Amino acid sequence: MNRPGSTIAAIATAVAADMGSVAIVRISGPQAQAVGRRVFRPASGRHHGWESHRVLYGHVVESASNQVLDEVLLLYMQAPRSFTGEDVVELHCHGGLVCVQRVLEQVLANGAEAAAPGAFSQRAFLHGRLDLTQAEAVAQVISARSRRAAALALAGLDGGVYRRIEVLRRLLLEQLAQMEAHLDFEDDLLPLNPVVVKEKIQTVTEDLSRLVEDSRQGQYYQQGLKIAIIGCPNVGKSSLLNRLSGRDRAIVTDYPGTTRDLLETEIVLRDIPITLMDTAGIRQTGNPVEQLGIARSRQAFTQVDVIILLFDVNLGWSEADQALANEIPEHVPHLRVGNKVDLLNQNKDQSNNTLKFPLAISAITGQGMEAFTNALLNCCGLTDLERLETSLNRRQTSLAQKAIQSLVRLDNTEKNKLPWDFWTIDLRDAVQYLGEIIGQEISEDILDEIFSKFCIGK
């Protein structure tokens, strides 16, 4: 990360050719205003008009040649009334690639150093502008792939995660304080009842467990699901991919073996980001290209969160379908779906098809897709997601689980009727884990690790 007390700068907006009319170069640190004055020439010709939270119009000029690099708006925010809690100067220049890069180069040549990934958010945390959960929520808001993911991230940015964790942490601190007081002043205080203490701790454990369980589901909104569509040739895998994606992503014909490689497409299904993989139909073939596609299909079995095993409902469940089902790893959930229900002959016995496999669809007409979507999300364990208000990220969930494990160990402590100093060991560990979630008890190295995963400019 950047040196403490340094003045840092980076492009704070997305940069792409022909995209965006405005780009922002952000400068933060004790020399932010000095750097800004070196590169910025106000249109009025007067530099004394710099006031906090006031916009100035002018140009960024190369100091050596006096060449105008870009027409800009400058916004100065005096500490502590800024995102980072330091003096901040933002140069709002033209978007694209060239202009914003030239402005940044000039800023770096005049006293600022390039900001490391997450440097601005880390300084906001260190200066008390954000707690750690809010800082992490900033990254989640920016990377959100669905509206629901953005809403959950905004709940964290609003302090939702902090408040829930801090309430539980304080409840544990109260119990820890009482135990330590009894260790020091046992003769002066009324005795503690281990059963009552354990009940209070159990309440915290249950609340944490619910939060962890909710977060496992909530993380799907942020990280999404990877789903493979597999099946024998010509059962309609590509048609289903096209139906779910809403466009003709894959070529569809009546000839087996049309798809000879993995095709991926990104969709959002009920606010869950999903990467769909259309695999080559698995069969015996002498075509080397198709063989390669089939090998990749089998490899995909272990790289996805769930598998859709598609079969032709008109032909019923065949030995080839069962052989394919047997190849699916036990730890990967899968959903068996009969396709081409629109082609069923209504006069023939359908007992082997629609009764044994009631989940039947038509990827062409859309028949049965509502029930299919419900079954798919249920197969992934995604139920009752609308009630989610906050969601922990992976780091926070891991720490919450460690806190739960520490609290669960107190069961044996109580059963064995051990003295209070044994209770305090696990209880203190649980308090520390919850403190790490919200940034109350965390080392500088861990902070650097967390913020290094942010993008530059955050």
Q: Is the dihedral of CA 111, 114, 119, 121 positive or negative?
A: positive
239 is in an annotated binding site: yes
CA angle 163, 161, 224 (to 5 degrees): 170
26 is in an annotated binding site: yes
CA distance 223 to 226: 9
| Cβ–Cβ under 8 Å, residues 205 and 198 | no
Q: Tokens 């139909």 appear where?
A: 281
CA distance 170 to 55: 44
CA distance 82 to 86: 6
286 is in an annotated binding site: no
89 is in an annotated binding site: no
358 is in an annotated binding site: no
63 is in an annotated binding site: no
237 is in an annotated binding site: yes
Of 83, 80, 52, 79, nearest to 157 by C-alpha is 83
Q: What single DSSP character describes residue 361? A: -
281 is in an annotated binding site: yes
**Secondary structure percentages of the chain, helix, strand, coil, to 5:** 45, 15, 35
Q: Tokens 């590169």 appear where?
A: 39
95 is in an annotated binding site: no
Residues linked to residue 75 through DSSP beta bridges, in sequence order: 55, 90
| Cβ–Cβ under 8 Å, residues 218 and 391 | yes
429 is in an annotated binding site: no
253 is in an annotated binding site: yes
CA distance 304 to 306: 6
32 is in an annotated binding site: no
CA distance 458 to 451: 9
235 is in an annotated binding site: yes
What single-letter amino acid sits at 95?
G
The values of phi and psi at residue 361, to 5°, are -135, 170
20 is in an annotated binding site: no
CA distance 382 to 39: 53
| Cβ–Cβ under 8 Å, residues 35 and 107 | yes
Tokens of 2: 């950047």
Cis peptide before 80 (omega within 30 of 0): yes
259 is in an annotated binding site: yes
90 is in an annotated binding site: yes
255 is in an annotated binding site: yes
CA distance 355 to 343: 16
Which parts are annotated binding residues for (6S)-5-formyl-5,6,7,8-tetrahydrofolate?
26, 90, 129, 458
Binding-site residues from annotation for GTP: 234-239, 253-259, 278-281
Point out the annotated binding site: 26, 90, 129, 234-239, 253-259, 278-281, 458
Annotated binding site for Mg(2+): 238, 259
